[in-house]
Amino acid sequence: MDDFCLHETTKAQLWPVLKELVSSGKRYRVSIKEWHDKRSLSQNALLWKWNGEIAGQVAKAGKGTFTGEQLHEYLKEIYCPPKAITVMGETRYVKSTKLLDTGEMTMYLEQVDAWAHQRGFRLTIPARCEYQQLRAQQGA
């Protein structure tokens, strides 16, 4: 079992999963933490839209040429919070937008948006996109 969202609506599904795991004879480490949804496809699509918009505006202004992927790596290094990944008992901290939850991704998008605006770039924020809705919920 990789992830299980424990909630009033899913609690009946937990016991059969636990019984199956215990019957395997293996030992398991169990930890409980508050559930946060992973970043959404909508947030990811908006980020890549912005990467392309910024790269295009930089080229149009004659300030250099780079790809959206290069910009992504650059901004990720500046603004993406590191996440712990443990493999065979060894922990490394990596910066990946794939590992952000929706709240963290909203904060990341806000930082990218501010970075772009400070440099005179204008980014598209669709009126009904999830980013706009999450910003409103957070009081932005």
pLDDT of residue 21: 83
Question: Among 27, 32, 36, 39, which residue's Cα sits nearest to residue 11?
Answer: 32
Q: Residue 135 corresponds to which tokens in the numbers above?
A: 């910003």
Q: Are 68 and 55 in contact (CB under 8 A)?
A: yes
pTM, entire model: 0.71
pLDDT of residue 54: 96
Name the DSSP letter for residue 38: B
pLDDT of residue 53: 96
pLDDT of residue 90: 92
Q: What's the pLDDT tens digit per position in 73-107?
A: 999 999 999 999 999 989 999 999 999 998 899 89
pLDDT of residue 36: 66
Query: Quick check: 140 pLDDT over 60?
Result: no
Query: Quick check: 1 pLDDT over 70?
Result: no
pLDDT of residue 104: 92
Q: Which residue has the higher pLDDT, 8 or 79?
A: 79
Q: Give all strands (DSSP E) within the chain, no chain letters.
A: 83-87, 90-94
pLDDT of residue 30: 77
Q: What's the pLDDT tens digit per position in 15-54?
A: 888 888 888 888 887 777 766 678 888 899 999 999 999 9
Query: Quick check: 136 pLDDT over 90?
Result: no
Secondary structure (3-state) at 29? coil
Name the DSSP letter for residue 12: H
pLDDT of residue 98: 93
Name the DSSP letter for residue 65: -
